[in-house]
């Protein structure tokens, strides 16, 4: 196993991922199930978030507990497919600052073409979660992490539904400090750069553009 990879081995994740792999699942059910998987994955991604001590008044007495730091985390989506992660992420982290990085794939070279980037300020102070449903070749994720680091981000986690060994290795070579969290590590990439067995094009399945 890769030292930069955490596969979330949870029965509900496996069950729900198996469901959305089914090509008969329509976009509505795909999006609803994706919401559920997102919350399960995000539970693991945020497990190592730092906490601060705080005291609150219960109905009976003061209680010394813990809270997230006042500096909100950053949730960064790689357009367009990662928009499907966003509603569930913002339910869990409603005060998170959201950023968008636009990438498309050159189908000849399989390398990303960058067309948009809008990031929150003060990334150097934030816990940052980068989202993309599929980690295939890894080059889009590497380019997105490049943008985040150039903007000052230091504590970056990458979350995806499914990863290919090729993409995990590319991320390890370029950004070994970025931990990858995924619901499954699939077999390989095909000649077109799609993950096998995978789920097909995640963006098309989320938005019904197939």
> Would you please indicate which residues are annotated as catalytic (active-site) residues?
105, 109, 201, 204
SS3 state at 63: strand
3-state helix, strand, coil in the chain (%, to 5): 35, 30, 35
Per-residue tokens: 182: 């995924």
Determine phi and psi for 96, rounding to 5 degrees.
-65, 145
> Are residues 157 and 171 in contact, defined by beta-carbon separation less than 8 angstroms?
no
Q: How far is CA 122 from CA 46, 72, 150, 154, 202, in A?
A: 19, 10, 12, 11, 31
Sequence-distant (≥ 6) Cβ neighbours of residue 82 within 8 angstroms: 131, 132, 133
Sequence-distant (≥ 6) Cβ neighbours of residue 89 within 8 angstroms: 38, 42, 75, 96, 129, 131
């Amino acid at each position: 196993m890769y030292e930069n990879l955490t596969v979330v081995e949870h029965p509900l994740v496996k069950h729900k991922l198996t469901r959305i792999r089914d090509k008969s699942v329509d976009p509505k059910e795909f999006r609803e199930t994706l919401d559920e998987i997102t919350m399960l994955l995000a539970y693991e991604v945020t497990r190592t978030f730092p906490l601060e001590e705080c005291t609150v008044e219960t109905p009976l007495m003061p209680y010394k507990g813990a809270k997230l730091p006042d500096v909100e985390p950053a949730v960064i989506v790689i357009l367009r497919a990662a928009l499907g992660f966003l509603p569930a992420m913002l339910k869990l982290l409603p005060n998170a600052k959201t950023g968008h990085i636009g990438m498309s794939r050159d189908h000849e070279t399989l390398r990303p073409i960058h067309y948009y980037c809008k990031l929150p300020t003060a990334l150097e102070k934030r816990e940052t979660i980068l989202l993309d449903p599929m980690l295939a070749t890894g080059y889009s994720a590497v380019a997105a992490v490049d943008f985040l680091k150039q903007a000052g981000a230091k504590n970056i986690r990458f979350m995806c539904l499914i990863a290919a060994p090729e993409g995990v290795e590319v991320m390890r070579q370029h950004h070994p400090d970025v931990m990858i969290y995924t619901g499954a590590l699939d077999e390989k990439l095909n000649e077109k750069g799609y993950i096998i067995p995978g789920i097909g094009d995640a963006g098309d399945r989320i938005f019904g553009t197939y």
